Amino acid sequence: MASHRRPKQPSRTRVTVLTATAAAAVALTSQTAQADPKPTKTEVKAKVDKLYHEAEAATEKYNGAKERQETLKEEVDNLQDKVARGQGELNDLRGELGSVASAQYRTGGIDPSMQLFLSADPDNFLDKAGALDQLSGKQAEALQKVKAKQRTLAQQRTEATDKLDDLEDVRKELGDKKQKFQGKLAEAQKLLNTLTAAERAKMQEKEQRASRAAGDRVELGNEAPASQRGAAALSAAATQQGKPYVSGATGPNSYDCSGLTQWAYAQAGVSITRTTFTQHADGTKIGKSELKPGDLVFFNNLAHVGLYAGNNQILHAPKPGAVVRYESMDYMGTFQFGVRI
């Protein structure tokens, strides 16, 4: 009779080793399948440029909120000054009203007919009676002034309270906008950090070459400006070449895109608003074929603005890490329209 032996069971140590090896292999395979390939330098640059455009749009919105904050703060201060002055005027009116009441009280509360009966000099009494009537008229007038001033003060206090609420909302919005553009810049830097030191150096060298080339003589053609103020603004901006782009900066040491255009037109004696989202309404919109030197040119859903310089070139503050320079419109992204100031 054949004997039936039970198959030999693998040792616990062997099972553990095999299990761990299999798990590691599965994990490695899974990681390999899930891991994204490292982006190329070209892909990183494209993503970084996109983030810079998004950061610039957020910066312009931040600038707009900051401008509203400054306007509201000025309005609140003016209203609070008016309320303080109005309270002083109300106190003076109340003082006048008190003087009138005191004078009336001193005439006595005796019935006029009894005063006439008791008076040794009827003519003198009639003079006093006329003065009493005049005094009552002044009292009524003083009362009306007090009531009107109280209404005005109540309106001003309500308006000041509303403005303070608006100011608080804008301050919160300002914080959100700042956080957004700073986040975009941080994300761009994180992407740049995925490159090797050599790749980053090569990108930086290319950017520096672009900035140096912008400092060289640029062929702008001989297009005539549409106006003297446009020519003056462009000429002023040209003196700022080489100065760095800084988010929120309006000169004279650094600029963002709309900060440069606002500064340039201020040198020409023209006041324009602060951001791309408002500057587009500061003049007359024109098409690309109508552009003349000194016109404002807008790109990428109003996220960027520069000054048209002629021969398809613009003069602008490009992006973080760059300086004020001339650049072909072909590299600016989506053209929106021009604006003639």
Which tokens hold the place of 260?
């440069």
Q: Show Cβ contacts of residue 331 under 8 Å, excluding neighbours closer than 6 positions.
A: none
Residue 28: predicted pLDDT: 44
CB atoms within 10 A of CB 178: 18
Which tokens hold the place of 309?
């310089």
Mean pLDDT of 84-108: 68
Residue 295, pLDDT above cutoff 50: yes
Predicted confidence band of residue 324 (pLDDT cuts 50, 70, 90): very high
Q: What is the mean pLDDT of the chain?
A: 78
pLDDT digits (tens, 9 = 90+) for 99-132: 655 555 555 554 454 444 445 555 555 555 555 5
Question: 212 or 284, which is more confident?
Answer: 284
Predicted confidence band of residue 31 (pLDDT cuts 50, 70, 90): very low
What is each CA distance from 257 to 13, 179, 291, 326, in whole angstroms? 69, 19, 19, 13
d(CA 336, CA 298): 5
Q: Of 131-140, 242-251, 304-313, give the lowest mean pLDDT range.
A: 131-140
Residue 30: predicted pLDDT: 47
Return the SS3 of 327.
Answer: strand
Residue 81, pLDDT above cutoff 90: no
Mean pLDDT of 61-84: 84
Residue 306, pLDDT above cutoff 80: yes
Name residue 244's beta-bridge partners. Answer: 323
pTM of the predicted structure, to 2 decimals: 0.59
Q: Are 202 and 83 in contact (CB under 8 A)?
A: no
Residue 160: predicted pLDDT: 78
Residue 11, pLDDT above cutoff 70: no
Mean pLDDT of 23-41: 54
Residue 94: predicted pLDDT: 73
Q: Of 176-190, 243-257, 272-286, give the lowest mean pLDDT range.
A: 176-190
d(CA 225, CA 209): 29
Instruction: State CA 157 to chain mean position distance.
Output: 27
Separate counts of helices (H) and strands (E) for the chain: 8, 6
Residue 8 φ then ψ, to 5°: -70, 125
Residue 25, pLDDT above cutoff 60: no
Residue 24: predicted pLDDT: 46
> Within 13 Å and on the Cβ side, how many CA atoms surround 93?
18
Find the angle CA(92)-CA(94)-CA(95) to the nearest 5 degrees.
60
Residue 341, pLDDT above cutoff 90: yes
Mean pLDDT of 21-38: 50
Residue 213: predicted pLDDT: 56
| 248 torsion bin: left (phi>0), alpha (psi -120 to 50), beta (else) | left
Q: Of 53-57, 114-118, 290-294, give the lowest mean pLDDT range.
A: 114-118
d(CA 318, CA 336): 16
CB atoms within 10 A of CB 309: 25
Residue 22, pLDDT above cutoff 80: no
Q: Of 43-47, 324-328, 331-335, give the lowest mean pLDDT range.
A: 43-47
Catalytic residue set: 257, 304, 316
- DSSP H/E element including 307: strand 304-310
Question: 74 or 160, which is more confident?
Answer: 74
Say what percent of the chain tops pLDDT 90. 32
Residues in the chain: 341
Mean pLDDT of 63-91: 83
- The domains found in the chain, sorted by start residue, are 41-192 (1.10.287), 223-340 (3.90.1720.10)
Question: 116 or 328, which is more confident?
Answer: 328
What is each CA distance from 116 to 123, 125, 296, in whole angstroms? 9, 6, 86
Residue 116: predicted pLDDT: 45
Which tokens hold the place of 227?
């106006």
- DSSP H/E element including 316: strand 313-316
Predicted confidence band of residue 17 (pLDDT cuts 50, 70, 90): very low
How would you class 236 by CB atoms within 10 Å of its CB: exposed for 0-12, middle for 13-18, buried for 19 or more? middle
Q: Which of 301, 45, 51 is nearest to 183 (CA)?
A: 51
pLDDT digits (tens, 9 = 90+) for 253-286: 999 999 999 999 999 999 999 999 999 999 999 9
